[in-house]
Structure 1
Amino acid sequence: MRASYNSSTFWSPGTMYQIGGSLPRNKVRRELVDSLSNAQRVAITVDGWTSCATDSYVTVTAHYIDDEWVLQNHVLMTRVFNEAHTGNNLEMLLQEVCREWKIEDKNLALVTDNARNMILAGVGAQMEPHVRCIAHTLNLASQKALKVDRVSELLVKMRKVVTYFHKSPKATEALREMQIQLHLPHHKLVHDVSTRWNSSLDMLERFWEQQPAVLNTLLSKKIRRGEAMSSLTEDDMTLIPEVIKLMSPLKVATTLLSEEKDPTISMISPIQTKLQRHFQPDESDHMVISQMKERFRLDFDGRYTYLQDLLHYASALDPCFKDLAFLDDNETKDMIFMKITAEVVKMDGQVRIYYSIYCSWCLSHFHCYLPVAYLTDAYLFSLRKSNSSSVLIDVRQGMVIHLMRTRQLKQKVTGAPTESKKRQVCFDWNCAKSYKSVLI
């Protein structure tokens, strides 16, 4: 069945209005169409969800950088989706949304979850790159780790305890009195939800915070515990902090990646590397922890191999990760920057890069912002203040003319970085005597 959204509802912050078969006359829509038309590229996110009334919805959101270099996010469509959630139907939905908002020529990128139908929709709609949501990926891998039999049993016991306190006002009051006596925070126990990321970890963390009060309350004669309340064992109490320690970095990573105001793709490779190291087996691990690590690695390690180069490029272009310190191999680092340089060379002088970063090193030497990369029709000079390689490029010849490794770099700049004025840039390479000056 064709996934059509005629006469659907358009949602924007503070705005809701109907979209019919013809172009609406709403001012907000016209302004958004104009803004999208000026965008160089647009990224699309698509997700399906179910309302409290059990209606199935699909939301499509556009993300792009406007002329003022501000990241914009706009919901293009939220509508009831009663059709079968097949890849073909979602593909047609995406294509129709792009035609409606006139963004078919924006070299669209796509972000979805890891569902098979979303993957097929991205392939059919020919949106590249198609990045699978990293937070959803982490949730899938963590769920696999928590399904280790021993951990599953522990979580079942935890749920029984939490449910007991949630359903018994008398037990809740007894717990509150015990918290006062033990000078513990007056926090309620947390019940996990299968669709809420990290909620099982939240349940364990809250129980561990309150475990003196919980255990003393369960031993109190004021309440009737039932058989379920005596099921926690000494082994359970030993395992809980070990599971919390193992899974806590996943919660931190998910929080960092759940960002709305800034792009997060540059974080994927560093976080991926950090988690892979964290989940490496260790001889001192509890047997259950070893099993959890293995389950996590089996699900997570192969997830982004199809996008590894792109993720490395994104990290290299992010000032926070530009040194690629999360990679151990210097040759790999050099190759990444060589590939980035080759991509810039392909632009053949048609695009100007005015990329500046705030750097305390630059301020201390020049008291100004230093253009890190500047492209003209003649030359491109790419400079990175790092312990890795610095690359000099001859754009006219389309080839690397020199590659050197240096530990220290001192730079003196003469002239303003304008397109019309040539500037002479002098370098003092402590590790190399050649290429002491380059005329840009």
Structure 2
Amino acid sequence: MYCVREYENYKSLLHESFANVSGRVSFTSDLWTACNNCGFLTLTAHYVDDSWSLRSKILNFRYCGALHTGVDVRKSMDVMVEYLKKELMQSSPLPCNGKFFHCAFNGKLCLDVVTRWSSTYTMLRKALEAKEALLLFTNRYLGIYYRLDADEWDTIQNICDFLQPFYDITVLFSSVEYPTANLYFVSVLRIEYVIYQAHKDLKLSPMATVMLKKFEGYWEHYSLILSIVVALDPSYKLY
């Protein structure tokens, strides 16, 4: 009886929390297999409360019987794609009446993290990859107030292009599977060149000025030993 009372208590609290939600509620579902090879399905609601905190509540947890194999998932995806195609056709006609319409799932959107500079690049890159979907979503559900214009998308593209060398070189230096000493000198010069080039862009110039000041503080004196490594590297032959 205690379990039933607790269940009813938390159920009423859940109803009250949703009654106070002033914004939209998003739903996600997840199929997973337990250690006993039984399949389960969960339905979760996500919303932002009045304190601007993201909340997630499990609404249902159900035993699915059979395992969720790739075949079963594909059948479900086929149903979803057909539904999505009908929704898109209502907004604007698809080429060839949607005959060649298909969906590609390239990952989730990311948020910026203050303590991880690379998250800014990842966030912008993911947003550019999902540009068409974001435009469709804002037009359909949020309105023009939340939609980025062409100039703003161009700014995002420019910032992403500017940050990409920093991301690539960070990944290059972080490797533990190959030596990186010979990569140091050329990579640092590349970063310096990218920062100087950014000064030519009026929108990137303020950011590049701050970055150049920090760069000169760290790399005012290049390491002579690591510079010699470049001269000894056969891939950088000096003529």
TM-score, with length taken from structure 2: 0.52
Matches within 5 A, 1:34-433: 168-169=26-27, 177=84, 185-187=104-106, 188-220=108-140, 223=141, 225=142, 230=146, 232-281=148-197, 285-321=200-236, 323=237, 386-387=238-239
Once the two structures are TM-superposed, the CA of residue 293 in structure 1 deviates from its matched residue by 2.0
**Where do 4+ consecutive residues of structure 1 move more than 4 Å?**
178-184
Pair member with larger Rg: 1
Residue 209 of structure 1 deviates from its aligned partner by 1.1
Cα displacement string for residues 86-135 of structure 1 (whole angstroms, at most 9, x for unaligned residues): xxxxxxxxxxxxxxxxxxxxxxxxxxxxxxxxxxxxxxxxxxxxxxxxxx
- Measured in 2, the distance between the counterparts of 1:202 and 1:184 equals 22
Letter in 2 for 1:186: F
- How far did residue 263 of structure 1 move? 2.6
TM-superposed CA distance for 1:282, in Å, is 6.3
Is the 1:201–1:247 contact (alpha carbons within 8 Å) kept by the matching residues of 2? yes
Which one has a larger percent strand, Structure 1 or Structure 2? 1
- 2-structure distance, mates of 1:301, 1:231: 38
CA distance in 2, matches of 1:278, 1:239: 17
Query: How many percent identity over aligned positions?
Result: 22
SS in 2 for 1:169: strand
Cα deviation for residue 262 of structure 1 reads 2.5
CA distance in 2, matches of 1:281, 1:213: 32
Distance 1:314 1:177, change over 3 A: farther
- Structure number having the greater helix percentage: 2
Name the Cα RMSD after superposition.
3.8
SS in 2 for 1:280: helix
Per-residue Cα deviation, 1:49-88 (whole angstroms, up to 9, x for no partner): xxxxxxxxxxxxxxxxxxxxxxxxxxxxxxxxxxxxxxxx
Q: Which amino acid aligns with 1:291?
A: P
2:13 corresponds to = none
The structural deviation recorded for 1:205 is 0.8
Contact 2:198 2:204 in 1 (8 A): no
Are the counterparts in 2 of residues 281 and 290 from structure 1 also a CA contact under 8 Å? no
- Alpha-carbon separation, structure 2, partners of 1:299 and 1:177: 48
Distance 1:317 1:275, change over 3 A: same
- Alignment-mate amino acid for residue 111 of structure 2: H
**CA shift in 2, pair 1:289/1:307, >3 Å:** closer
TM-score by length of 1: 0.30
Could you tell me which runs of 5 or more consecutive residues in structure 1 were left unpaired when the two chains were aligned: 1-163, 324-385, 388-440
Contact 2:139 2:147 in 1 (8 A): no
User: 1:189, 1:183 → 2: CA distance?
Assistant: 20
